Amino acid sequence: MIKYKLSDLLLKATEEAQKRGSLPQFALPEIVLERPQNQAFGDYASNLAMKLARSARMNPMGIANAIVEAMEPTEFVDKIEVAAPDS
């Protein structure tokens, strides 16, 4: 199932960001993917960066960007966007 492939992709990218030093070392929580209520926000979303903010002692946007930069291209992902939380 695509959801599990995406979770694995996020996990590997987060671990790679830690190896590169873009993120500090910390235990990773379970990665949860959800379908956004508004389809304009894409097919899947994750609040992983928000969950990691305290452990990493970093801004969630910085965490999200570090993860995206460490992601390997894959045939089943067209586009990845980092979205700021709603205010």
Nearest-CA neighbor of 58 among 20, 13, 26?
Answer: 26
- For residues 67 and 17, what is the distance between their CA atoms, to the nearest angstrom? 6
> In 10 A of CB 66, how many CB atoms?
23
Q: In the chain, which ranges are E strands? A: 33-34, 45-46
Domains contained in the chain, CATH given: 2-22+29-70 (3.30.1360.70)
User: pLDDT digits over 34-83, tens only?
Assistant: 998 888 888 999 999 999 999 899 999 999 999 999 999 999 888 898 98
Q: Residues with Cβ < 8 Å from 1, sequence gap 6 or more? A: none
pLDDT at 86 over 90: no
Question: What is the DSSP-derived secondary structure letter of residue 40?
Answer: G
